[in-house]
Structure 1
Amino acid sequence: MKLLHEGTITNQVLHKKLPFSMKRLYLEDLPVIEQIQAKVIESLPEKDSLQALATEEFLFILNERGLMVGAFVEDELIGFRALLIPEIDEEHLGWDIGLPPEQLRKVIYQEISVVLPEYRGNRLQQKLAEVIMKELPNLEEEYRYVCCTVAPMNIPSLKDKFTQAMHIAALKEKYAGLQRYILVKDLENPLGHYSDHVTAKLDDLEKQQELLREGYVGIGFQLVQGFHEIQFAKPVL
């Protein structure tokens, strides 16, 4: 099995550094993938902050409709990250960010990303993102837009996406009425310059909606009196 990354990682319970590696996951890994997802969901105080994948969705990804990368300590899976090639339907995130129909096939989703609680605090989600995005060009088709959804108030996941230079392009109801940010990164023409910087409180979704309608995008966090606020700005095209 081809190793995609090797390094060391700290087990926060044992307070011990351990060697770890990353490799691509396949159909035979499905049982342990679902076990890890269940453990992570069980550890979350807010269960709906993570949009879990069903067995059928994992099968869809593992049957060459995307790719998954896992992190291992010895032979134990401790976290994974997935990319999904989506079906083009009415729920496609490309519609939410205003893409024309001919560009929808250029969209790939960053799907679920999970890390066991005892290995959090190692920037493992970010490392998994770096490795899986390096694997993206190995897929048969070429993709220009990387999209994902994140629940409002899910600060760790938003930080992860902002670190990857993704930006909030929309805030919509998804998944049967749940509010979700839709984030995107244009791999061919990433945003780099902004003007008119403003902030909005993390829980003020009405103001955020208004800013998005006015052409702002969400680009990061700012701490104001100890509380996170989302930074919005207008792209300079």
Structure 2
Amino acid sequence: MKLLYEGTITNQALRKQQPFYMRQLTMDDLPVIEQVQREVIESLPEKAALQPLSTEEFLFILQGHGLLIGAFVDEQLIGFRALLIPEIDEEHLGLDIGLSESELSKVIYQEISVVLPDYRGNRLQQKLADVIMKEVPNLTQPFRYVCCTVAPMNIPSLKDKFLQEMHIGSLTEKYDGMQRYIFVKDLERPNQRYTDYITAALDDMYTQQKLLDEGYVGIGFKLVKGFHEIQFAKPV
């Protein structure tokens, strides 16, 4: 078993540090993957904030169409993160951000990322992101774009994506009419520069959509009078 990361983590319920490690997940891990996903969804006050993966989707990833990385304490799975090599169809996220059909094969999705409640507050989602993104060059084909969807009021996921220097490229309806941001990161342009900075309230979807239509992208949060606003700017 190849370990991808080793460190310590705080169990918030026990209030103590514990050693943990990360490794790639396999078909043998599927039952516990789904159990952890169920536990995390049950713990959420707003269930619609997280789009779960089905058994078929987990199988698709585990059969060579992506990557799953898990974090473990004493052989117990406490969190995981997924990358998916998507099928190219009319729902492809690359189309939502304006990519040409020839570029769609260069897109990989960041899928679900979950952490059990007892281990939140350790920036484990970000650590899982760092580890799984380092594995992208080892996949079966080269990728240029990383895309994902995030519910507009899912603050932890928004912070997670901005910390990874992803930006909001689109705001559209997905999953049978649910509004979602489409985040993207261009791996070939890691030091993107911006101009014309402006903010919009987190719940002002009309202004945000107008800014996106005018060529702005969402690049982060800004505190305005104690409230989070989305910071927009134009790529240079």
**TM-score between the two structures when normalised by the length of structure 2:** 0.99
Q: Does 2:196 correspond to 1:196?
A: yes
Cα distance in 1 for partners of 2:139, 2:194 equals: 32
Matched, 1:22 2:18: no
Q: Structure 1: which 5+ residue stretches go unaligned?
A: none
Q: Is the 8 A contact 1:69 1:81 kept in 2?
A: yes
167-176 or 191-200, which moves further after superposition? 191-200
Gaps spanning 5+ residues in structure 2: where?
Answer: none
SS at match of 1:5: strand
**What is the 5 A alignment of 1:103-182?**
103-182=103-182
Alpha-carbon separation, structure 2, partners of 1:182 and 1:156 = 16
- For 1:41, what is the secondary structure of its paired residue? helix
Which consecutive segments of 4 or more residues in structure 1 shift more than 3 A? none
Percent same amino acid among aligned pairs? 74
Name the counterpart of 1:212.
212
1:4 aligns to what? 4
Alignment of 1:53-132 (within 5 A): 53-132=53-132
Amino acid at match of 1:176: D
Deviation at 1:114, TM superposition (A): 0.1
Deviation at 1:191, TM superposition (A): 5.0
1:234 alignment counterpart? 234
Matched AA of 1:28: D
Kindly indicate whether the alpha-carbon contact (under 8 Å) linking 1:161 and 1:167 is maintained by their aligned counterparts in 2: yes
1:191·1:235 contact (CA, 8 Å) conserved in 2? Answer: no
- TM-score, normalised relative to structure 1: 0.99
Shift of residue 53, structure 1, vs aligned partner:
0.5
Kept in 2: contact 1:197–1:232 (CA 8 A): yes
Shift, 1:192, TM fit: 2.2
Answer yes or no: is the 8 Å Cα contact 1:68–1:82 preserved in 2. yes
Q: Is the 8 A contact 1:80 1:113 kept in 2?
A: yes
Q: Shift of residue 224 of structure 1?
A: 1.3
**Match of 1:173, SS?**
strand
2:192, 2:57 → 1: CA distance? 34
Write the distance in 1 (CA, Å) between the matches of 2:183 and 2:192. Answer: 15
